Amino acid sequence: MDWNYTKIFLAVYRTGSATKAALMLGMSESTLFRHLSNYERKTGQLFIRHSRLSYTLTKLGESILSSALEIESLYAKMEREIDKRDDLASAQVILTAPTSYSYFIVPLLINQLAQDHPEIRIDLKVSNHNLSLNAHQADIALRVTNTPPNNYIGRKVTSVGWSVFCSQNYEFESRPPRQLHELANYRIIGGSGELATIPAYEWIEKNCVENCVTTSDDFFALSHLVKCNQGIAILPDEFELHPLLKLFSVEEFLKNSLWVLKHRDVRQVKRVSLVEKCLIKILADKLRIEKHPR
């Protein structure tokens, strides 16, 4: 059995989508679909296809899931053991980060590594979805979560709250809003897709639907719409790093936590530790850091 088929099977299972799985694996959607079809010709139907963006497991798919996860874990363990021996001889470190941090933090990291450790090369996986450290899809993960997995180690860098932002040159007819309930009087950009289930955007849908001029399912796209004067938006506090104007903080919504994480098995890999320390220092320079070792 080709291991690549198992990787595709697990990627589609985790994302529930052929499109997102292809992005995760760095291949075209047509290539992924061809490989998955070949796999299913050998095994039987593994997924029910509701649409390109909605795949669910069949009973056959459910029956092989635990075995596929075990195979993935074994391959990842082999790769981590090889990494330990390679140390700095293998200079690549795979980093996964959300879109916003990838645009504004990772370039600073690469610049610093070029000065201090030019032998290290970053392979950046831009994703707002969790890539698996267990499967060695990444060496280091920059994640916004309140529940980091127990088999990962790392540090909580800071708490990430919510604020209201507009463009630097936004022209208000009167004074800017200063409280959440005042947003009903302004042009608002809301969330759709997965973002629609976040409390901040549920609040907009409930209280500002008449003045919600557009929506997006991506934080970075939301921030760009704000930058282009399409309206004002509620965004995570990390967008203070972006060329936007923060109007006020919103305390009504639960804060998340920003973590720098790695798998326990790579804690002795020198190049991973060097990148981890450099990344934490850069985040500490840009954000209010909290000391929370795990």
Q: Which domain holds residue 66?
A: 3-76
Do 223 and 167 belong together in one domain?
Answer: yes
* pTM score of the predicted model: 0.66
Please report whether residue 86 resides in a domain. no
CATH number at residue 228: 3.40.190.290
pLDDT at 134 (0 to 100): 57
**Could you give the number of structural domains in the chain?**
3
Please report whether residue 174 resides in a domain. yes
Q: Is the pLDDT of residue 128 over 80?
A: no
Per mean pLDDT, which of 47-61, 95-109, 144-158 is the most reliable?
95-109
Confidence of residue 190 (pLDDT cuts 50, 70, 90): very high
Distance, CA of 54 to CA of 51 (rounded, Å): 5
Among the ranges given (50-59, 166-175, 219-228), the one the predictor scored with the smallest mean pLDDT: 50-59
Please report whether residue 84 resides in a domain. no
pLDDT at 127 (0 to 100): 77
Confidence of residue 129 (pLDDT cuts 50, 70, 90): low
pLDDT at 153 (0 to 100): 85
Taking only the tens place, the pLDDT of each residue in 233-279 is 999 998 988 889 999 999 999 998 899 998 777 777 888 999 999 99
Q: What is the mean pLDDT of the chain?
A: 86
Please report whether residue 204 resides in a domain. yes
Distance, CA of 48 to CA of 268 (rounded, Å): 42
The average pLDDT across 142-148 equals: 85
Q: Is the pLDDT of residue 162 over 60?
A: yes
Extract the tokens encoding 114. 């070029």
CATH number at residue 23: 1.10.10.10
Do 16 and 132 belong together in one domain?
Answer: no
Do 66 and 112 belong together in one domain?
Answer: no
Q: Please, what is the Cα angle at 211 between 207 and 217, to 5 degrees? A: 80
Give me the residues paired with residue 57 across strands: 47
Write the DSSP assignment of 197-257 as a string of letters. Answer: GSHHHHHHHHHSGGGEEEEES-HHHHHHHHHTTS-BEEEEGGGGGSS-EEEEEE-SS--EE
Q: Are 18 and 29 in contact (CB under 8 A)?
A: yes
pLDDT at 292 (0 to 100): 40
pLDDT at 1 (0 to 100): 61
Instruction: Please name which of 233, 203, 230 lies closest in space to residue 219, comparing C-alpha atoms.
Output: 233
Do 184 and 239 belong together in one domain?
Answer: yes
Dihedral (CA of 43, 46, 50, 53) sign: negative
Do 225 and 110 belong together in one domain?
Answer: no
Taking only the tens place, the pLDDT of each residue in 6-30 is 889 998 998 888 888 888 787 888 8
Do 36 and 149 belong together in one domain?
Answer: no
Instruction: Please name which of 294, 290, 272 lies closest in space to residue 92, comparing C-alpha atoms.
Output: 272
Extract the tokens encoding 292. 């929370």
Please report whether residue 203 resides in a domain. yes
